[in-house]
Amino acid sequence: MTDEYISIIILVHFTIYEGDMMKKFRFKAIIGALLLSTVLPTAAFGASNEVYYPVIGSSKTSPGIYKAVPNGKASLVQKETRYVLKRTSNPPIALKDTNVYTVNSRVAKSTDKYPNQMPLQHVQQVGKDVYFARFLFRGEYAGGCGGGYADILEIYKRSSSGKISKVTTDRVSSDAADIFKVSGSYLYYAKVENAGFGNFTIMKSRLDGKNKRVLQKGVSDFWINGTYIYFEKSGKLYRMALDGKGLKSFSFKTKLYGDGGCDGGNYTVGENGVSVSGYVNDKYVNYFFDYATGKITTQLSGGLKDDRHPYILDMDVNKKRLVAQTFLDDGGDQVSVYDFSGNLIKKLHKVDFWGGGPILHSVDAKKGEFLYIDGSSLKLIKF
């Protein structure tokens, strides 16, 4: 058995596990997610504005950066090379929470069944430039619990002339809700220290990566919404200003925990707040932190009426509706809109990140906008 084949087996095993555990993507949501929220950036757009977004490769689609007006024709901005992954015992960074490492080995051929189809995972347009995160290596946890992985990435910039340059030598993780974020004239990111699933250092720098400043150490997650930086640390949600001042914590009735080698986490980062799921006295409860008010409320007590466990993507407290992703028995996930009593309002679309189907890009419950990527096309559904 070759190293390449071993890596494939681990990845397939994790795919099944992750579907059951509902990984915290931003998509992080690419995910997020991300969701591809722990993976795709939020995009604000108008009738004539193009959105830049990353596309996962397939037999019919080249991976890379694309741009399109939602529901319009997509065009390739930057094509990325697919590589075959190979196991290594000497990764660029030793991670204390993973025990298997894979790196790019050779350019993939058309006959290779399992090349790395995600050579880049996050894109943000900044003026005439485009910032993106490129794959460096993967740290996997192979254990009896099923295992998980974090891709370690590097931040690059593509100028208007097409020149590509590395912004910083610091590395970032696909596990962070925001892999990186440009806000105003500054770049923010969660620097990888010695772990793929946490112990990050929140950094702030100029757009060229210089004049770096440490804002917070030892965080397990990181994202930006509006004029605030949010992060999870020691089971609590924290917020601070973009200059690192005014630190404030928010406590839920359950301890927060993010993605790890054996767990998919118990909270999701949405466009309008943070949703935390848990059980109180054997009853399912969802807590929601609203960015607009800074308040925590209890929503969706008892779960959904269709008995499916919701992976809540976003909420609108005023309209009393939420968007949730539920696992389908035949594979993939269904994204739908529900009211706070758990009643189905509308089915939006099926997504299938691992099966090569449509991929969630972003959801905004207040605006009533659902963006997803189908092949290389960017699709918009309003609700």
Return the domain boundaries, the chain.
3-382
Give the mean pLDDT of 369-376.
Answer: 95
More confident call, 308 vs 229: 229
| pLDDT confidence tier of residue 284, bands split at 50, 70 and 90 | confident
- At residue 202, what is the residue type? I
Architecture of 3-382 per CATH? 7 Propeller (2.130)
> Does residue 126 register a pLDDT over 90?
yes
Residue 367 backbone phi and psi in degrees, to 5: -75, -20
Structure-token pair, residue 69: 């007006």
Q: Is the pLDDT of residue 163 over 50?
A: yes
What percent of the chain has pLDDT above 90?
67
Tens of pLDDT along 191-214?
999 999 999 999 999 999 999 999
Adjacent-strand bridge partners of 217: none
- Residue type, position 295, single letter: K
| Band of pLDDT at residue 92, cut at 50, 70 and 90 | very high
Of residues 322, 278, 273, 279, the one with CA closest to residue 296: 273
In this prediction, residue 147 carries a pLDDT of 67
Per-residue pLDDT at 20 = 28
* Rounded distance between C-alpha atoms, residue 382 and residue 7, angstroms: 40
Nearest Cα neighbor of 315 from 332, 295, 331 is 295
Alpha helices in the chain (DSSP H): 3-21
Closest-CA residue to 16 (of 152, 114, 147, 115): 147
Q: Which of 45-54, 66-75, 99-108, 246-255 has the lowest mean pLDDT?
A: 45-54
The whole-number pLDDT of residue 281 equals 76
pLDDT at 27: 32
3-state secondary structure 45-100: CCCCCCEEEEECCCCCCCCEEEEECCCCCCEEEEECCCEEEEEECCCCCCCCCCCE
Read off the pLDDT of residues 290-335 as tens digits, 9 standing for 90 and up: 999 999 999 877 678 887 778 899 999 999 999 999 988 777 899 9
Q: Using only C-alpha atoms, what is the Rg of the chain?
A: 19
Model pLDDT for residues 340-369, shown as the tens digit of each residue: 999 999 999 998 866 667 889 999 999 999
Is the pLDDT assigned to residue 55 strictly greater than 80? yes
Burial 38-62 (b: 16+ CB within 10 A, else e): bbbbbbeeeeeebbbbbbbbeeebe
- Strands of the sheet containing 283-290, edge to edge, are 267-269, 273-280, 283-290, 296-299
* pLDDT tens, position by position, 242-271: 999 999 999 898 889 887 656 667 899 999
Contact (CB, 8 A) for 230 and 209: no
pLDDT bucket at 11, cuts 50 / 70 / 90: very low
Report residue 137 as tokens: 């290596």
pTM of the predicted protein model:
0.87
